[in-house]
Amino acid sequence: DAGITQSPRHKVTETGTPVTLRCHQTENHRYMYWYRQDPGHGLRLIHYSYGVKDTDKGEVSDGYSVSRSKTEDFLLTLESATSSQTSVYFCAIGTPREQYFGPGTRLTVT
Amino acid sequence: AQTVTQSQPEMSVQEAETVTLSCTYDTSESDYYLFWYKQPPSRQMILVIRQEAYKQQNATENRFSVNFQKAAKSFSLKISDSQLGDAAMYFCAYSWTQGAQKLVFGQGTRLTINP
């Protein structure tokens, strides 16, 4: 298995609070991604990074920000969580031929 | 924009039988990758099979094979000799070959295996 971990694995938070999810890799991959998974939508890209301090938006980026200060860490921040951000969040790393996914974080916003 | 469509929200098959999951996609690119991912109840995303668009030969991985029809933009997954462990959500996905290589996923098909 690719060395990719996510923390926390589960989180319940209240509307309006900030939340940060962490993705950590030990594979030294240049590209890292954040996806969210919702019923009926598959996985959708939130943000991605193509190097330290280099990030770009995906198709569902509103309400999210990211940071990458080190190759191994990619942080996803919900500045002010809303109920619509209740979802399962996956981090991924990879090459064009294959992406490896972390175990996912289930986030519930009440 | 590239899109991926899985028109079968749910499928079921008898154990040891064969089942085919459908996927269509839309792109103006000539070179790209297509994937099938499996997501069991553990939630882990597992790569099942990959097809490179420039290759005419259909990819196979043991009991899993694809029918890649580039002109029709169709990419179906055939599972032979279905096993109880094959029960999962299956996602079709598209990726560019250059640049950020981000994946575009279909909506998923839930596969049930009947003993």
Residues of B in contact with A40 (CB under 8 A): 107
Name B32's bridge partners: B96
Q: What's the CA gap between B36 and B90, in Å, rounded?
A: 7
Q: What is the mean pLDDT of chain B?
A: 94
Averaged over A46-63, what is the pLDDT? 94
Q: Quick check: A36 and A46 in contact, CB under 8 A?
A: yes
Are B101 and A40 within 8 A, CB to CB?
no
Computed on alpha carbons and rounded to an integer, the radius of gyration of chain A in Å comes to 13
Interface contact B55, partner A, CB < 8 A: no
- Entry field: residues in chain B: 115
Q: Helix, strand or coil for residue B15?
A: coil
A99 vs B97: CB contact, 8 Å cut-off? no
Q: Is B101 on the interface with A (CB under 8 A)?
A: yes
**pLDDT tens per residue, range A8-54:** 999 999 999 999 999 999 999 999 999 999 988 889 999 999 999 99
Token pair in block for residue A62: 């509103």
Tokens 């969580």 map to which residue?
Answer: A81
Q: Are residues A42 and B107, on separate chains, in Cβ contact within 8 Å?
A: yes
Look at B42 and A2; give whichever has higher pLDDT: B42
Q: How far apart are CA B75 and CA B97, in angstroms?
A: 17
Q: Tell me whether residues A42 and B106 touch, CB distance under 8 A.
A: yes
- Cis status of the peptide bond prior to B9, with omega within 30 of 0: no
Distance CA B21, CA A50 (A): 33
Out of B45, B47, B107, name the one closest to residue A90 (CB): B45
**Is A92 within 8 Å of chain B by CB?**
yes
